[in-house]
Amino acid sequence: MCQLLGMSCKKPASIGFSFEGFRARGGRTDEHRDGWGIAFSNPNGFDIYRDEQPAAGSHLADHISKAEIKAKTTIAHIRKATIGEVNINNCHPFERKLWNKSWLFCHNGDLKAFSPELDSCFVPEGNTDSELAFCKLLQDLNRDFPDGEPTLEILFDWLHNASVVIARQGTFNIILSNGEWLYTFCSTHLAYVERQYPFQEIEFIDTATSVDLSIHNDQDDRMVIIATHPLTRNELWNVYTPGQSRLFCNGHLVHEKANT
C-alpha cells in the first residue's frame, strides 16, 4: 500500500529533512515505487508537484528537497499501486475546489468494493479508489452544507463520521486539507510527532542521518509531523488507534475523536 506524510506549522517551515527520509521509502528502503507527490500551501491554495517515477530516484524530488520550500501546511504521498495504473493522473495528492478553496487529499489503503454514485460536480481524472473517495467526500460535503463551509468543529465531526463509513469498505488512512487545517483519519496505521522548543537532534530511520533541529528552528517555532510509520527513532511518536481522527492547525492538535 501507499504511505502518507503531512506537516502543520505555526509559521511556514520546510519539510525537507522529513521528506528526505520519507522519499527513501519510495523505492530504496521500501517498495512504494509507483509515483509520488507533494503539495505546499500558499495564500492562494497549493503548489503541487507530482511524478510517476519512484520518489527515491526522482529528479523532481531532488529539486524539491534542495529548494527547501516553506509552508504552514504540507502533504506528501508515495504510491504502491493496487487500484489504477502507474501514471501521473493516479499520483496523489488530488486537488479539487470547494467553497472557493483548494482541497488536497491523500489516501493509503484499498477500497475494492467502493462504488459510490457521483454527480457531475466532482469527477475523478484517474481511476483510483482514492480519488473516487475524495470526490465522494466533497460531493457529500457540498450537499450537506449548501450555504457554505460550517464551523471547524462541525466540519471535523462530519469528516470523522464520513470517514468511519467509508472505512467499512476497506482500508482508509487519509490526510485531507484546505490549507488552513490538516485532517487525518486512521484505519490501520498512522502516527504523529510534535516538535517545539527546546528542539533536539533527531535520527532518521531510513537515511541513517541525524539533524539538530535547534539549528534550523527559532524558539517560537512549532510543528506537527504526521506519517504512516514513524520517520525517526528517538522521538515520541503518538500512534493512532484504528478509527481515530485528528485535526491539526498551526502546529497544534485542535480536535480528536475515536470511533466508538
List active site positions.
Answer: 2
Say if residues 162 and 139 touch (Cβ distance below 8 Å). no
Which segments of the chain does DSSP mark as H helices, in order? 16-23, 59-67, 129-144, 152-167, 213-216
Q: What is the DSSP letter of 258?
A: E
Q: Which helix (H) or strand (E) holds 212?
A: strand 210-212
- State the Cα–Cα distance between residues 143 and 139, nearest whole angstrom: 6
Contacts of residue 55, defined as CB under 8 A and 6 or more positions apart, other chains included, come to 22, 23, 25, 26, 27, 32, 35, 36, 61, 78
Q: What is the DSSP letter of 149?
A: -
For 29-95, give the DSSP string.
Answer: SSB--S-EEEEEEETTEEEEEEESS-GGG-HHHHHHHHHT-EEEEEEEEE---SSS-SSGGGPSPEE
Counting every residue written for the chain, the total comes to 260
Measuring CA to CA, which residue among 18, 119, 102, 16 is closest to residue 65? Answer: 16
Say if residues 254 and 232 touch (Cβ distance below 8 Å). no
**Residue 249 identity:** C
